Amino acid sequence: MSAGLFVVFEGGDGVGKTTQLKRLSDALQSAGREVVVTREPGGTALGHQLRQLILHGDHVAPRAEALLYAADRAHHIETLVRPALARGAVVLQDRYIDSSIVYQGGARGLGDQVERISRWATGDLLPDVTIVLDMEPDPSRMARDLDRVEGETSRQADKIRRGFLMLAQRDPARYAVVDAARPEGEVFHDVFSAVRDAIRRAREAGASQGAPTSPTPPSPVTP
Ligand code: TYD
């Protein structure tokens, strides 16, 4: 077990992940934690280039696209996320393996292999908690001029939403499903309490395994 905490945000496009990540980062930093905010695709110099290719480049064959996400992930986890966790940081990450399962495996129809490839790519590193920001897809968003991937996937927004909810049901202890269709402060209240629970669980697990105790968790911050 690492000393840090790995928190992932998932959900459909436009559910407010970036806003919640920022608020959570500010709250944890004020409580004295080192926080690393990152995202997939992206997060490293290589990831930034892959992001440009996947999201803003020409058509990419679905299997190639799945492998590019996995390549980004492999590099990101090994060079940025694992070192941050090892030194005790809280990593707040926008999207991870579940996005590939839902978008490439489900929406693009590539199936179960997608999860296997990502698990191999990351050496099976799983988040301490995955926060699924859930809301009904916004129809006006689908009409807007979106980037290439979003344009294709927005038509499948319902399927994507159900995909994340199914993953959360599969392993409820590691997930928090948060209703994101509410005012930002209310959403953050639930996000913060899910992270506080995860910090507590990680400390208890660390103590029972005799692992070094992680740095002091944040004192309760009123969201
Ligand atoms: P993101 O930057 O999170 O966009 P948004 O803030 O609008 O949600 O994600 C960009 C797109 O990349 C998004 O449409 C989902 C897609 N994506 C995948 O299809 N598979 C993946 O494994 C990841 C990480 C993202």
Ligand 1 center to residue 7 CA distance, Å? 17
Q: What is 5-208's CATH number, 3.40.50.300, 3.40.640.10, 3.30.2290.10, 3.20.20.140?
A: 3.40.50.300
Ligand 1 center to residue 26 CA distance, Å? 23
Beta strands in the chain (DSSP E): 5-10, 35-39, 90-94, 129-134, 175-179
Q: Is 100 in the pocket of ligand 1 (CB under 6 A)?
A: yes
Q: Is 103 in the pocket of ligand 1 (CB under 6 A)?
A: yes
> Which atom number of ligand 1 is nearest to the Cα of residue 69?
22
pLDDT above 90: residue 209: no
| HEC profile of 162-222 | HHHHHHHHHCHHHEEEEECCCCHHHHHHHHHHHHHHHHHHHHHHHHHCCCCCCCCCCCCCC
For ligand 1, atom 14, name the residue with the nearest CA.
Answer: 150
Look at the block and give the residue holding tokens 């009904």.
136
Ligand 1 center to residue 152 CA distance, Å? 12
Ligand 1 center to residue 205 CA distance, Å? 32
Of the candidates 85, 155, 152, 185, the residue with the CA atom closest to the CA atom of residue 125: 85
Domain ranges of the chain: 5-208
State pLDDT tens for residues 102-111: 999 998 899 9
- The token duo for 200 is 């507590």
How many residues does the structure list for the chain? 223
For ligand 1, atom 4, name the residue with the nearest CA.
Answer: 13
Q: Is 104 in the pocket of ligand 1 (CB under 6 A)?
A: yes
Percentage, residues of the chain above pLDDT 90: 79
State pLDDT tens for residues 36-85: 999 999 999 999 999 999 999 999 999 999 999 999 999 999 999 999 99
